[in-house]
Structure 1
């Protein structure tokens, strides 16, 4: 059950951004000039990209407090990448793993 929860947590922001992109393409088009930036966001920084699209207001961009949430989501993305790298290093049989 724990593995299923981790799988859902890793897939959720990518799936949510994809659904927003399909259901409300104007939101994504207003936030980004081309299709490459949201695609890179889905791959590398899904939480931050999702927050940016949701908080972006047409013409005005993001205000000061909105940037806090985007940066916070970016930190969550970085923590997610780092935790998966650490857990991979501790896996038995992984080359270079640290065994106690």
Structure 2
């Protein structure tokens, strides 16, 4: 299960979310109470959603917060990462 999950994450977090949800729906149902939060996570913060589902089964505690903060930073970096390079593109 590990290698296909890593390949899906390299394809993109949204592909990993979709396949992981299809394969292991019980884990997703235990992590989220409603269906709305995973959908919003799928659209806006996919790495954070994946990290939360990954660390949730034992409860979020200790170093799990580091993984979640790192995932939030990666998601935010994806939104703001192209801002510095916008002047390099010729018009």
Equivalent residue, structure 2, for 1:98? none
Residue 32 of structure 1 pairs with residue 32 of structure 2: yes
The structure with the largest alpha-carbon Rg is: 1
Give how far 1:61 is off. Answer: 2.2
The equivalent of 2:3 in structure 1 is none
TM-score of the aligned structures, taking structure 1 as reference length = 0.71
User: TM-score of the superposition, structure 2-length normalised?
Assistant: 0.78
Higher helix share: 2
Aligned to 1:43: 43
Regions of 4+ moved over 2 Å: 8-11, 84-93
Please say if 1:80 is aligned against 2:72.
Answer: no
Question: Structure 1 residues 11, 81: CA separation in 2 closer, same or farther (over 3 Å shift)?
Answer: farther
Q: Which has the higher contact order (CA 8 A, sep 6+)?
A: 2
Give the secondary-structure state (helix, strand or coil) at the position aligned to 1:63: coil
Cα contact 2:9–2:15 (8 A) shared by 1: no
Cα deviations across residues 16-62 of structure 1 (Å, max 9, x unaligned)? 011111110111111111111111111111111101001111xx521
